[in-house]
Amino acid sequence: MTLILKEMETRQVTINANPQTGPKLVSRDSKPEGTIVEVEGIPIGGKEIVVMAGPCAVETLEQLTETARSVRAGGATILRGGAFKPRTSPYSFQGLGNEGLEMLGKAKAMTGLPVVSEVMDTRQVENVAKYADILQIGSRNMQNFPLLKEAGDCKLPILLKRGMMATIDEYLYAAEYVLSRGNSSVILCERGIRTFETSSRFTLDFNSIPVLKQRTHLPVIVDPSHGSGERWIVPSMAKAAIAAGADGLLIEVHYRPEEALCDGSQALYPEDFGMLMADLRKIAEAVGRSIYNR
């Protein structure tokens, strides 16, 4: 054990070779006890694991509220849903924008679940912040430096996804941008990286969980939905994430995945989500933790 810890210390020194320019504020050294990000009384980064779930995109009020009700019943404590969607093709559904935000507000009022929603542009921050309790910065924007600075100036917690091509160092520097502007409520999210492998949408990098937990005091969650891209893979990856020490999960669920306008093939059916939650409770217990219950 001592040997392993010694090895970890040496590695950290090698990675952060330059103490002047290394990411300081996010570093575990600066806050050994770890950060707990509070979202409407829900502690993220503590002993309890927080599950965020919901559709990839907000599509209709019915789709959102029905899905929200089902994830709440399954045990999720935060609702996800994108109103502004980063899509590869300009011809794909781009999200409902401000109308989608209003629907998120209604779903929150109906279910009591706080909301996480993506912001892609500095000009969207003010509006998304009116409806969301956590601002998500997506993989494709991990190094959108003006957006990171704007997020740092804002008071809301930030869910910062790992860039699909980003190294851990680059990821930590991105988080450092937010902290360096005064916002220390940052939740990191491993969502898979690009590798030579084509059998799944992305390659979920599970090494990053212990590595990030060792290098930073920020909470680390995992998105097994984008990480795999296929519904049948999601439960295994979600369970593995908890076993590997993740502080939470971000999972896509849709009340009718076959009708989804975005990412339907990776969305869990509400029943699957409920069954997965039962398994997650057991895994959490096995690693000395529990799933946060409202």
Which residues are near Mn ion by CB under 5 A?
A: 56, 263
Helices 168-180 and 208-215 meet at what angle, rounded to 10? 40
Query: 118 has which bridge partners?
Result: 136
Q: Which does residue 112 touch among Mn ion, ligand PEP, none (CB within 5 to 8 A, set by kind)?
A: none
Closest CB 118 distance from ligand PEP, rounded Å: 6
Q: Residue 88 or residue 198: which is nearer to ligand PEP going by CB?
A: 88
Convert residues 99-118 into a mask of x (bound to ligand PEP by CB under 6 A) and - (unbound). -------------------x
Q: Which does residue 138 touch among ligand PEP, Mn ion, none (CB within 5 to 8 A, set by kind)?
A: ligand PEP
Q: Residue 25 or residue 261: which is nearer to ligand PEP going by CB?
A: 261
| Number of residue whose CB is nearest ligand PEP | 138
Residue 254 interacts with ligand PEP (CB under 6 A): yes or no: no
> Site residues for ligand PEP, window 67-86 (CB under 6 A)?
82, 86
Q: Residue 150 or residue 263: which is nearer to Mn ion going by CB?
A: 263
Q: Residue 108 or residue 161: which is nearer to ligand PEP going by CB?
A: 161
What whole-number distance in Å separates Cα of residue 215 and Cα of residue 151? 22
Instruction: Using alpha carbons only, give the angle 238, 242, 159 rounded to the nearest 5 degrees.
Output: 80
> Site residues for ligand PEP, window 173-232 (CB under 6 A)?
191, 223, 226
Residue 139 interacts with ligand PEP (CB under 6 A): yes or no: yes
Q: Residue 260 or residue 280: which is nearer to Mn ion going by CB?
A: 260
Q: Residue 2 or residue 88: which is nearer to ligand PEP going by CB?
A: 88
| Run of H or E residues at 43 | strand 42-44
What whole-number distance in Å separates Cα of residue 227 and Cα of residue 262? 15
Length of the chain: 294
Residues contacting residue 223 through CB under 8 Å, at least 6 positions apart: 161, 189, 190, 191, 192, 249, 250, 251
Closest CB 117 distance from ligand PEP, rounded Å: 9
Between the CA of residue 220 and those of 9, 132, 179, 209, what are the distances in Å?
A: 20, 20, 15, 7
User: Taking Cα atoms as reference points, which of 226, 277, 290 lies closest to residue 85?
Assistant: 226
Residues contacting residue 235 through CB under 8 Å, at least 6 positions apart: 224, 268, 272, 275, 276, 279
How many positions of this chain bind ligand PEP (CB under 6 A)?
11
Chain contacts with ligand PEP (rule: CB under 6 A): 56, 82, 86, 118, 138-140, 161, 191, 223, 226
